[in-house]
């Protein structure tokens, strides 16, 4: 969300940014919001003048009424001023209503106008224009077939999609035995990995109020992703970033406490509307999963440095588990409206012989801070908006696909990298049951 003053003073920059995001339908909103802002400021000014004159006129009436005992003509003058006060009061009611209407429409538009993207973001219509920046680890395709990930899991009696379908419907799963343990081991390792990087571990609320949802994500994403609790102002989180950033709503953050670096565990719930294709069967795209997340709240001048650190943490984590990955820079058309800059970390799939997304790192500038009214009090006593960033540490259901494919041996066994063995009871290899 942009500052209305920025839009007012830089309309062409805002319009050019909208064009770069291929959202030309939003261009008229810039002129509309500037006009509404002008009307709103005029209404506020007029209302302030009427309130200021109210006391002055009231004192005049009192004085004239006192003088009317000696000079009856003063009574007529007092009645005229009373009529003026009444008319002013009626006009003030009109203005206050207009202010409310203007403010509501301005806020609606401002929630829709996209954030200004960083100059380094590649320009493109959709994710097909995302740019590969760097690869880490050598992608290997073995000379034996790699089955679909649910087939691998079934060899270990590790997944039950059919029972989950009967219990909850499509998009749910039971993980069992060694596969379930591997899932938990990855989460525990990712937690400790981030703690070792200096992040504070947190388990957040898994439900949040609607004003927090509006503060952390776009309206479009909210409607397509979030599950609402019927009859209550509560939503199930789609990622713990939502409640972790929401932790700072309406707060003044002492500057000396920055940066705030937090890593959080949570289950995540997503509608995942629409058809996604054959490669998104199984546990790739589901309604419920668990995730380790990282968020940073920092000074504006530090946010790009943190952005670099955060996506590199994901690379380091996956490489420590012997999984080849690459960094993919998201283009302008693939950026959500709140984001200044974003990249995906994609893991190598030997079965598909291509990379697929396992992490997403984003710098949102001060957009979430402005929406949530998060502020920092600087050393000079002045308030400013901090920048917020988020990144997936690991989301095991999707990450498990990369893990199983890259560690599958010709005999059907799964090797366990050294970093995970303490979380797997010392096991170095998993042997299939079937």
pLDDT digits (tens, 9 = 90+) for 363-413: 999 999 999 999 999 989 999 999 999 999 999 888 999 999 999 999 999
pLDDT of residue 86: 81
pLDDT of residue 85: 79
Please indicate, yes or no, whether residues 291 and 350 belong to a single structural domain of this protein. Answer: yes
Please indicate, yes or no, whether residues 225 and 327 belong to a single structural domain of this protein. Answer: yes
pLDDT of residue 65: 65
Please indicate, yes or no, whether residues 191 and 316 belong to a single structural domain of this protein. Answer: yes
Bridge partners (DSSP) listed for residue 356: 347
Please indicate, yes or no, whether residues 339 and 421 belong to a single structural domain of this protein. Answer: yes
Answer yes or no: is 187 within a domain: yes
Q: Which of 109, 113, 108, 130 is nearest to 121 (CA)?
A: 130
Ranges of residues in the chain whose predicted pLDDT is under 70: 55, 58-79, 219-221, 273-281
pLDDT of residue 285: 84
pLDDT of residue 84: 78
Split into its structural domains, the chain has a count of 2
Please indicate, yes or no, whether residues 56 and 151 belong to a single structural domain of this protein. Answer: no
Please indicate, yes or no, whether residues 96 and 141 belong to a single structural domain of this protein. Answer: no
Task: Give, for 208, the enclosing helix (H) or strand (E).
Answer: strand 207-208
Condensed to tens digits (0 to 9), the pLDDT of residues 278-323 reads 445 688 888 999 999 999 999 999 999 999 999 999 999 999 999 9
Answer yes or no: is 353 within a domain: yes
Please indicate, yes or no, whether residues 159 and 34 belong to a single structural domain of this protein. Answer: no
Please indicate, yes or no, whether residues 59 and 141 belong to a single structural domain of this protein. Answer: no
Q: Which of 97, 154, 121, 113 is nearest to 31 (CA)?
A: 113
Pairing of strands 341-349, 235-236: unpaired
Answer yes or no: is 216 within a domain: yes
Domain range spanning residue 214? 127-430
Last residue of a domain, one of 68, 83, 112: 112
Please indicate, yes or no, whether residues 98 and 180 belong to a single structural domain of this protein. Answer: no
Answer yes or no: is 374 within a domain: yes
Q: Which of 339, 320, 431 is nearest to 389 (CA)?
A: 339
**Quick check: 99 and 44 in contact, CB under 8 A?**
yes
């Amino acid at each position: 969300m942009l500052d209305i003053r920025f839009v007012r003073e830089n309309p062409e920059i805002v319009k050019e940014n909208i064009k770069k995001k291929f959202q030309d339908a939003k261009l008229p909103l810039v002129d509309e919001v500037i006009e509404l802002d002008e009307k709103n400021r005029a209404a506020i000014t007029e209302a302030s003048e009427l309130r200021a004159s109210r006391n002055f006129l009231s004192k005049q009436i009192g004085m004239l009424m006192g003088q009317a005992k000696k000079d009856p003509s003063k009574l007529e003058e007092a009645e005229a001023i009373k009529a003026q006060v009444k008319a002013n009061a009626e006009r003030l009611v009109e203005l206050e209503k207009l202010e409310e209407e203007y403010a509501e429409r301005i806020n609606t538009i401002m929630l829709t106008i996209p954030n200004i993207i960083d100059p380094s973001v590649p320009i493109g219509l959709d994710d097909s224009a995302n740019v590969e920046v760097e690869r880490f680890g050598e992608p290997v395709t073995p000379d034996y077939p790699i089955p679909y990930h649910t087939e691998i899991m079934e060899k270990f009696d590790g997944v039950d999609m059919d029972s989950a379908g009967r219990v909850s419907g499509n998009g749910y799963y039971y993980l069992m035995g060694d596969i379930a343990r591997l899932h938990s081991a990855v989460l525990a390792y990712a937690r400790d990995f981030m703690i070792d990087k200096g992040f504070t571990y947190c388990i957040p609320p898994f439900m949040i109020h609607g004003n927090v949802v509006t503060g952390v994500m776009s309206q479009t994403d909210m409607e397509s992703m979030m599950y609402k609790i019927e009859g209550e102002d509560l939503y199930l989180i789609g990622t713990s970033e939502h409640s972790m950033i929401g932790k700072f709503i309406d707060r003044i953050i002492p500057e000396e406490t920055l940066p705030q670096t937090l890593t959080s565990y949570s289950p995540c719930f997503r509608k995942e509307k629409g058809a996604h294709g054959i490669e998104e069967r199984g546990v790739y795209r589901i309604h419920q999963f668990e995730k380790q997340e990282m968020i940073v709240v920092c000074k504006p001048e530090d946010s790009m440095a943190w952005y670099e650190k955060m996506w590199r943490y994901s690379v380091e984590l996956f490489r420590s588990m012997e999984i080849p990955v690459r960094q993919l820079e998201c283009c302008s058309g693939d950026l959500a409206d709140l984001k200044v800059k974003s990249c995906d970390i994609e893991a190598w799939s030997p079965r598909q012989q291509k990379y697929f997304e396992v992490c997403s790192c984003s710098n949102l500038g001060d957009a979430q801070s402005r929406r949530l009214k998060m502020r920092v009090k600087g050393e000079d006593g002045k308030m400013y908006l901090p920048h917020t960033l988020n990144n997936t540490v690991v989301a095991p259901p999707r990450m498990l696909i990369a893990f199983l494919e890259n560690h599958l041996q010709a005999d059907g066994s799964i090797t366990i990298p050294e970093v995970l063995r303490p979380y797997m009871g010392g096991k170095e290899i998993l042997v299939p049951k079937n």
